[in-house]
């Protein structure tokens, strides 16, 4: 079952690992970075391995069955 969440950025851009941490997908920044390094996260349909990828409004982040829609 897919879980879709809208994330509103208070400032933009935000680094990818921080969004995973703040949304509770990862317990810590280190865990978020590890998940990204493993190639488990996609941004806008493409696998993303850059921990500090800048995320802006309109981006869609996916990890397994979790989808985060980013707005500003």
pTM of the model: 0.93
User: What per-residue confidence (pLDDT) applies to 1?
Assistant: 85
| CA-closest candidate to residue 31, choices 56, 57, 72, 63 | 63
As to burial, measured by CB atoms within 10 angstroms (0-12 exposed, 13-18 middle, 19+ buried), residue 60 is middle
At residue 53, φ and ψ (nearest 5 deg) are -55, 130
SS3 category, 30: helix
Instruction: Give the count of domains, the chain.
Output: 1
State pLDDT tens for residues 35-64.
999 999 999 999 999 999 999 999 999 999
Question: Residue 23's domain spans which residues?
Answer: 3-71
Q: Which two tokens stand for residue 14?
A: 């935000």
User: What per-residue confidence (pLDDT) applies to 43?
Assistant: 98
- Domain with residue 25: its CATH number is 3.10.290.10
């Amino acid at each position: 079952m897919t879980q879709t969440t809208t994330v509103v950025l208070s400032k933009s851009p935000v680094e990818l690992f921080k969004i995973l941490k703040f949304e509770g997908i990862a317990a810590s920044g280190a865990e978020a970075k590890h998940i990204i390094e493993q190639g488990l996260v996609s941004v806008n349909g493409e696998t993303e391995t850059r921990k500090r990828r800048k995320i802006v409004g309109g981006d869609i982040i996916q990890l397994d069955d979790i989808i985060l829609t980013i707005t500003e």
